[in-house]
Amino acid sequence: RKEVEQDPGPFNVPEGATVAFNCTYSNSASQSFFWYRQDCRKEPKLLMSVYSSGNEDGRFTAQLNRASQYISLLIRDSKLSDSATYLCVVNSKGNEKLTFGTGTRLTIIP
């Protein structure tokens, strides 16, 4: 079983719609969680950290469910510029390594 699993998609969503994707992780010792965004042929860029209580940054909302070991990302009022691959990333306590999921590809359709 992969350490971090995501639905690869693709998700094709009309502009203005709301889209959500989940990610599951297998290591119960995981401590820190992140969503990264990766554009085609570019490096990943940190979108937001995910906190236990859930957090919001503009149109983006991240949630963490430790009991079920999954995190989610919700994008509201989607824009064309949101088209990218979204990577779920997990880090274990006391460990500097980041474990990446394969990513979920999102395309916003005009």
What's the rounded Cα separation, in Å, for the pair 40 and 55?
A: 27
46: enclosing H helix or E strand: strand 44-50
Tell whether residue 68 is a contact of another protein (CB under 8 A): no
What's the rounded Cα separation, in Å, for the pair 70 and 24?
A: 4
Tell whether residue 64 is a contact of another protein (CB under 8 A): no
Q: Which is nearer to another protein, 45 or 59 (CB)?
A: 45
Least separation in angstroms between residue 39's CB and another protein is 11
Window 28 to 57, contacts with another protein (CB under 8 A)? 32, 34, 41-45
